Amino acid sequence: MSAWFAAAIVGLGTYLTRASFLVTLADRDLPPVMIHAMRNVAPAVLAALVASILVGERGVAGLAQPVELVALSVALVVAARTRNLTATLATGMAAFWIARWFAG
């Protein structure tokens, strides 16, 4: 099996999975419990990404580079003060790019 064929199959499977939710739930209201749970998906994914930066595959701490630690620190402060995911992501990425530029 070629890599292109595998990528096409995975892409088609992903598309069909997402489309099935749109087709089956398009004319229904979601229960409040599901809406509340979906609000927590983005922060949970962000936390998982940060954890994967800080802790490696083998559970070894300290894998983050200084540039990444600066960006994570800035994002943490913004998240604690604003509780806004968009502001956290925007300032964290801006801090990363600026710190990376200064690091050369």
pLDDT value of position 10? 94
Q: What residues form DSSP beta bridges with 61?
A: 55
Q: Which two tokens stand for residue 7?
A: 């990528």
pLDDT value of position 104? 80
Q: How far apart are CA 29 and CA 55, in angstroms?
A: 39
pLDDT value of position 16? 93
Q: What is the SS3 assignment for 55?
A: strand
Q: Which two tokens stand for residue 15?
A: 């598309």
Please tell me the number of Cα atoms within 13 Å of 40 on its side-chain side: 5
Domain chopping of the chain, boundaries: 1-30, 39-103
pTM for the predicted model, two decimal places? 0.57
Question: How much is the average pLDDT of 76-89?
Answer: 92
Cβ-contact 95, 70 below 8 angstroms:
yes
Tens digits of residue pLDDT in 86-103: 999 999 999 999 999 998
Please tell me the number of Cα atoms within 13 Å of 47 on its side-chain side: 6
Confidence class for position 43, pLDDT limits 50, 70, 90: confident
Question: How much is the average pLDDT of 38-63?
Answer: 76
